[in-house]
Amino acid sequence: MSALVLNEEQQMLKDAAKRFMYESAPVSQLRALRDSEDATGFSRELWQGMVEMGFVGTLIPEALGGSQFGYLGMGQVSEQAGRNLSASPLLSTAVGGVAALLLAGSNDQQHALLPKVAAGELLLSLAVDETPRHNPSQVSTRLESKGDGFVLNGRKQFVIDGHVADKLIVSARSSGADSERDGISLLLVDRTAAGVKVERVSMADSRNAALVTFTDVAVAASDLLGEAGKGFDALELTLDVVNGQLAAELLGLSLEAFERTVAYLQERKQFGVTLSSFQGLQHRCAHLFSELELIKSVVLKALMALDEGDEDASMLVSLAKAKASEVAELATNEAVQMHGGMGMTDEFDIGLFMKRARCVQALFGDFRYHANRFALLRGY
């Protein structure tokens, strides 16, 4: 069994990400993007900085311009992004898009696209969900043969950064009923292709998702990722990678909310004494601290399992996402409550952590989805 600790290189990456996110992508930047109603939803200059730091290429093989630092390495970047509410296409492009290409793409597709991602020249986004609640096998979008290629019709929602992505990685049904795992294909679609309509949606956390409609979109055979109708296994693994990073982000977000709250309790006075001296608040903080320590372990274990190709990786990822979602809700609720009336105002940043937590909790499967998936994978 691997020790649940970072090696020296992973710790260095975590330290570098901590400094970079704090200095270049702090909470104040998210506020500025929100208040200016920025249509892009992130700073292009910041994204280029992430490229230069090597964060964007963390999962990409060295031969294709990346550092191949693995899922645990990327998890350290995601955790720091969570701590600072850093807005960027890191999840959509450097995690989801890259994972899909690595797990389902051909050698030619990987060599054509991944170097561009590593260089910051190409943005990707997963177009998977069609229903209000995450259900990757519930696919009504149709992919039908036509001549030497295919034609695509359907609609996707919650497409993160879909309004700016250069290419969408779309799940579509080639055969079978709408809820079956078999018959699902993965394919690359240009956002600007004829018949693709993208509507930007600003979420509660001030990030952008998109509603994407496909109407008789022509798709070349060379744009299929893998074989037609046999893409679900790769999609499921891709979603494991994404949810592992979302769990790491929730960990970072929860830790930051907790630490800010403890600092506030040590400063704020009531009845002539600091709030931190009240035993009831101490008990609540102690309980939350214990929960946070538990998340640290399960997130590390899940990311290590993904790196090692462990047969229990999917189960551990769902455990991590479910537990991280549960604790993030507790951490942000407690943070707002312990800040008192000020916690409810926009003047304090703490409410922004709650909003981001709620969106990340629901993205690609909430607590109930992953708790149920964990139980199924355990044989219950």
Distance of alpha carbon 202 from the chain centroid = 16
Banded model confidence at residue 111, pLDDT cuts 50, 70, 90: very high
Give the model's pLDDT for residue 271: 78
Yes or no: say if 24 and 49 are a contact pair by the CB < 8 Å rule: yes
Q: Does the domain at residues 8-121 carry the CATH identifier 1.10.540.10?
A: yes
Banded model confidence at residue 242, pLDDT cuts 50, 70, 90: very high
Give the model's pLDDT for residue 290: 96
Yes or no: say if 24 and 46 are a contact pair by the CB < 8 Å rule: yes
- Segment holding 146, helix H or strand E: strand 142-146
Domain boundaries, the chain: 8-121, 126-229, 233-377
Yes or no: say if 199 and 217 are a contact pair by the CB < 8 Å rule: no
- The CATH code that applies to domain 233-377 is 1.20.140.10
| Token pair belonging to 65 | 């311009």
For residue 202, the number of C-alpha atoms closer than 13 Å in the C-beta half-sphere is 11
Tokens 């708790």 correspond to 371
Yes or no: say if 191 and 198 are a contact pair by the CB < 8 Å rule: yes
Q: From CA 98, how far away is CA 167, in angstroms rounded?
A: 12
Q: Please, is 346 exposed, middle or buried when counting C-beta atoms within 10 Å of its C-beta (0-12, 13-18, 19+)? A: exposed
In this structure, the number of other CB atoms found within 10 A of the CB of residue 34 comes to 18
Give the model's pLDDT for residue 268: 78
- Strand pairing of 149-156 and 167-173? unpaired
Yes or no: say if 41 and 164 are a contact pair by the CB < 8 Å rule: yes
pLDDT tens column, 60-84: 999 999 999 999 999 999 999 999 9
| Token pair belonging to 173 | 């049904």
Q: What is the 3-state secondary structure (H, E, C) of 313-371?
A: HHHHHHHHHHHHHHHHHHHHHHHHHHCHHHHHCCCCCHHHHHHHHHHHHHCCCCHHHHH
Give the model's pLDDT for residue 245: 98
DSSP summary character for residue 230: B
In this structure, the number of other CB atoms found within 10 A of the CB of residue 52 comes to 11
Give the model's pLDDT for residue 347: 83
The yes-or-no answer to whether 126-229 and 233-377 have a common fold is no
- Judged by average pLDDT, the poorest of 203-207, 285-289, 344-348, 374-378 is 344-348
The SS3 assignment for 123 reads coil
Give the model's pLDDT for residue 1: 56
The SS3 assignment for 152 reads strand
In this structure, the number of other CB atoms found within 10 A of the CB of residue 273 comes to 9
Q: From CA 98, how far away is CA 310, in angstroms rounded?
A: 20
Q: From CA 2, how far away is CA 318, in angstroms rounded?
A: 20
260 Cβ contact partners less than 8 Å away, ≥ 6 residues apart: 335, 349, 350
Q: Does residue 278 register a pLDDT over 80?
A: no
Terminal Cα-to-Cα distance of the chain (whole angstroms): 25
pLDDT tens column, 311-328: 999 999 999 999 999 999
pLDDT tens column, 133-188: 999 999 999 999 999 999 999 999 999 999 999 999 999 999 988 888 999 999 99
Give the model's pLDDT for residue 266: 84
DSSP assignment of 177-218, as one string? -TT-STTEEEEEEETTSTTEEEEEEE-TTS-EEEEEEEEEEE
| Sign of the CA dihedral with 228 first, then 191, 35, and 56 last | positive
Banded model confidence at residue 2, pLDDT cuts 50, 70, 90: low
Yes or no: say if 296 and 290 are a contact pair by the CB < 8 Å rule: no
Q: Does residue 270 register a pLDDT over 80?
A: no
- Strand pairing of 269-270 and 167-173? unpaired
CA-wise closest residue to 324 among 289, 357, 350, 372:
357
Q: What is this structure's pTM?
A: 0.95
Q: Which fold has domain 126-229?
A: Butyryl-CoA Dehydrogenase, subunit A; domain 2 (2.40.110)
Section 106-125 average pLDDT: 97
DSSP summary character for residue 94: I
Yes or no: say if 268 and 118 are a contact pair by the CB < 8 Å rule: no
Give the model's pLDDT for residue 162: 96
Banded model confidence at residue 205, pLDDT cuts 50, 70, 90: very high
| Token pair belonging to 70 | 């693995």
